[in-house]
Structure formats: structure tokens, C-alpha cells
Amino acid sequence: MSQEVKVPTLGESVTEATIGEWLKQPGEAVAVDEPIASLETDKVAVEVPSPIAGVMGEHKVAVGDTVEVGAVIAIVEEGSAGAAPAKPAAAAPASSSDNGTLEDTVPAQAKIHDPDAAQTLSPAVRRAVLEHGVDPTQIKGTGKDGRLTKEDVVAAAQAKTASPAPAAATPTPAAAAPVGSRNEERVKMTRMRQTIAKRLKGAQDTAALLTTFNDCDMSAVIEAREKYKDVFAKKHDIKLGFMSFFAKAACLALKDIPSVNAQIDGDEIVYFDYVDISVAVSAPNGLVVPVVRDADKKGFAQIEKDIADFGKRAKDGSLTMEDMKGGTFTISNGGVFGGLMSTPIINPPQSAVLGLHRIEDRPVVRNGEIVIRPMMYIALSYDHRLIDGREAVTALKTIKEAIEDPTRMLIDL
């Protein structure tokens, strides 16, 4: 007896998705509720579970196809793994601009999926394996359930290149690479990347974007973090980071300047008496912004736990639509990638976003003397249709003052 596998409900206003990856191939055994496919939606990747235990049957659609909610995408046959013949996994097709060169120049083990392995390579990972010529069976995966990610393959290739190769007994002259050889590759944008592109361009087309800057002396926060990090970690079982300080400082500013926490809806302005902070997190398929809800009512520890949980789930692809829903203000930390200064783009329909950057020692004047302090540039991009320059500058100055004197966050100044 067979069971159809249908596209599940994906969330409010989401009616379709793209087949991102088949996690089970025809003939492979599947357990009930075991993920068999990954769907890419506008915001997150959603795994489709098997409705029964049995054997993976026919794939009704291919990777890259767009499917609607309720559509049949596969068949699962009841029974044991031996009840259905396994189909050989097809090699990922080379791009039209590759001219077949990848398949001809990589080791044989990179082309064959180990039948004893507990995972199936996704198209992107298989592509990276072929390109870098590494053995996927020798790489430890960091993705969900230990699956390989493209980043794992690239890291393994870099480690292989860094390791000195053993000297050959009889050196063989290498064939000279064709002079001026240049390659191109065309890869279809994922649904998430398409949505990111549309939303960011839409923000530029609709909002009157402007950015104001300030710099922030991080000495007090660094001192407080260093002084209490061990006690904090022991009590709350989470590290004390910088993001919780900026989240709480932002809550002070948003309470004082309500328009920075507001949104335009048609010809109306919507003001919120709560602060839901969207935190920009880097995921394998792009930037996602899960929401720390009621940040103004949470303590440092709970904010740190929420952010750490989002980061972990973004990496393994388990964030949900509900995690992304809403948000009244966004914090984006480009400093983790070494960014010195930027003009972040607002996350519609929000009206403002705070950009954080790297901390570096710089000379500043204090009490008439030049001293070295750990400084950070901070930026507030805002929709000038709703937020006046005075309000934006005041909000950013409030954040700066709270970071430079964290006591303000305790006594609500």
C-alpha cells in the first residue's frame, strides 16, 4: 500500500515553495515522521516528513520545481527497504558553462555517494565536492543530523590545500593550464534569495531612507562583561554577549522615541507599546531575521538565550515561519564579519534598523587628553517619511549613552 506525500501548510500567506533538496532517494527506507524533502519558502527551509514507515517511492517533482500547498510531491510505499529496488543516485548536472570539465578532473571518490553513508549530498554540496575534488566521506558534516553543508566542503578543501603534499618519487611534469582560461557558472537564485532581493529593493523604492551615525566607547560594557561573565554563565547557563546590551539600550531609545518603533500602514501610523526586536542572523541560504519578542520585558539572560537559540537553528535549518513573523525594530551586527561602518537597509514594514560594527582601539580625547579606547561605529537607518532627523539622532544618542554608562539601563534613563 502506498501513501502520497503532500506539501504541508507553510504558514500564513505562504502558498507555494520550491523543492530545495531530496533527503531520501527511491528505494531507501524511511521511518514515520522522518524528513524526506526540504522545501525552500520565502523565509525559511521547511522539512517534509514521511506520513508512514516504509520505502521511499517515486519523486513526483524535481529539485528546483515550484509546488503549491497540498500538491503531491512523492510516494512512500509501506514495507521494508528490500521491497523496492533502489535507483542509482544521479550525478548533479554540470552548468552549461562548465563544458563537462568538472567531472573529468575530480577524483573518482568525489563522484560516488557512499552507500553506507547516513546522508545524501544536496545539489549545492555535490557541486562543491566536484569543484574542489574532495572525498565527502572524509568530511564531518555540521548541518542538521550531521549532513554536509557547502561550507564544510569548502573548509575541507582549504585544509587540504594548506597541508603540504608528500614529495613524489618521480616528479611528473604537470600539464600547463590554458592561458587566459576563464569559467562562468549560472546558478538559479533560491526562493529565499529572490525574496531578500525583492524586499530590500522594495524598501529602497518605497521608504525615504536616511542613515545617521555615531561612535560608541565600549569600555564600560567590556569591563562589565569581563567582571561578570563567569558568574553570569554559571547562573544562567549562557554566555554574556554584547547583543543583549544593545537590545536593552535600544528598548530604552524606542520607549523614549515611539516613532522609531512604529510603522506606516497606508495613511496611518501604527505605534506599538511593546518592542519585538528582529535580530539579523546569517544562515546557509541567506540572511534571516528571527524575532526576540517582548525584548523590553526580558532580562539580559533571556535575550542572550533567545539569540543563541536562533543562531543554532538558523545554522541547522530548523527556524520556523513563526520565528520570523512580526518584529518592530531590527538590529544587524556586521561587526562579526569585520565591518567597520555600513548603512543598513530597513526591514519592511519596520521603520528603523540599528547597525553594529567591529570594535577597535582608536585615539579619542577624554578630559583634554588623547587616550586609546575600544570604539564602535553605530548606525541608525530610518524611514524619513515617519521619523524626523531630530528623533533619529536622539534615539541613536540614547543608545550610545546607555552603552557607555550601562547603569542607565538599570534605572531607566
Q: Please identify every residue annotated as catalytic.
A: 384, 388
- 75: helix, coil or strand? strand
- 113: helix, coil or strand? coil
- 44: helix, coil or strand? coil
Residue type, 301: A
Q: Residue 147 is placed in which grid cell?
A: 549532513
Q: Residue 269 is placed in which grid cell?
A: 501610523
Cβ atoms of 224 and 406 within 8 Å: the answer is yes
Residue type, 306: D
Residue type, 66: T
Classify residue 79 as left (phi > 0), alpha (psi -120 to 50) or beta: left
The three-point CA angle 398-293-42 to 5° equals 110
Q: Specify the DSSP element, H or E, that contains 364.
A: strand 360-366
Q: Specify the DSSP element, H or E, that contains 127.
A: helix 123-132
Angle between helices 123-132 and 150-162 (to 10 degrees): 10
Kindly give, in sequence order, each residue whose CB lies less than 8 Å from that of residue 161, ignoring residues fewer than 6 positions away: none
Cβ atoms of 27 and 84 within 8 Å: the answer is yes
Cβ atoms of 215 and 377 within 8 Å: the answer is yes
Distance CA 140, CA 154 (A): 12
Classify residue 99 as left (phi > 0), alpha (psi -120 to 50) or beta: left
Residue 198, classified by CB atoms within 10 Å of its CB into exposed (0-12), middle (13-18) or buried (19+), is exposed
Exposure pattern of 302-315 as b/e (b: 16+ CB <10 Å)?
A: bbbbbbebbeebbb
- 355: helix, coil or strand? strand
Going by their DSSP bridges, the two strands 369-383 and 360-366 should be labelled as antiparallel
Exposure pattern of 62-75 as b/e (b: 16+ CB <10 Å)?
A: ebeeebeeebebbb
